[in-house]
Chain A
């Protein structure tokens, strides 16, 4: 199946700083990428949907100014957590999909990024 990578896998940052998480589709062109947040022992909560070359669509209750999403190419999307606070600590997961070719109609997930804000 299609491969999606995330970097970094783990990151620790101080409160007030910003951190960027990268999501890459390695073997297919992803027209759409999704960003999820997962709390311990909970399901995945969709934060936003990003389509290449356009602004991300955020789910209700997600602060777009705090969670900046950029999808500049068909293989890369980034999530920047700005002015991070301890309550932003979580497991962030991206997924990528495309309506054609490899990855068609499925969402392929990255391995996740564990963010800890101290």
Chain B
């Protein structure tokens, strides 16, 4: 089955700096890569996703890149703010996200004011 590795497990950045979280996947059939933000005591919230037919997607301060050849994808957050502090999960799925999604272990991001 699919295996998703994520690093770093924790990340501290100064407010205004950028944060980068990297993930790799094992199954070349995976074609959908969502990123989730989870705040303490809440469910994960989809923040951005990318499909295998594109290499980069951006939404305001958040961007995701995908390298299918190397089987890795990354989340980039620019101009970080304290409210970006949370746990971020990457995930991978075949047949689109409406089927089984495999999660990474999560990255706890702390933005220091």
Contacts and interface: CB of A to CB of B under 8 A. Distances in A.
B96 A105 contact: yes
Interface stretch (A12-20, A61-69, A74-82, A106-114): A106-114
A34 B34 CA distance: 16
B43 to A, nearest CB: 4
Interface residues of A, number: 27
Contacts of A31: 98
B32 to A, nearest CB: 7
A44 B42 CA distance: 12
A108 B42 contact: no
B11 interface: no
A53 interface: no
Contacts, number: 60
B105 interface: yes
B41 A43 contact: no
A111 B98 contact: no
Nearest to B6: A43
Q: How large is the interface on B (under 10, 10 to 19, 20 to 34, 35 or more residues)?
A: 20 to 34
Contacts of A32: 98-99
B54 to A, nearest CB: 14
A109 B45 contact: yes
Nearest to B36: A109
Q: Chain A interface secondary structure, helix, strand, loop or mixed?
A: strand
A112 B106 contact: no
Q: Chain B interface secondary structure, helix, strand, loop or mixed?
A: loop
Contact of A112 (B43, B97, B103, B105): B43
Nearest to B42: A111
B73 interface: no
Interface in B72-102: 89, 96-101
Given A1-B46, A43-B104, A44-B89, A104 B41 contact: no
28 contacts: A1-B46, A4-B43, A31-B98, A34-B101, A41-B108, A42-B106, A43-B104, A44-B44, A44-B89, A44-B103, A46-B101, A49-B99, A49-B100, A93-B44, A97-B98, A97-B99, A99-B96, A105-B98, A106-B46, A106-B49, A106-B97, A107-B98, A108-B46, A109-B43, A110-B43, A112-B41, A112-B42, A114-B41
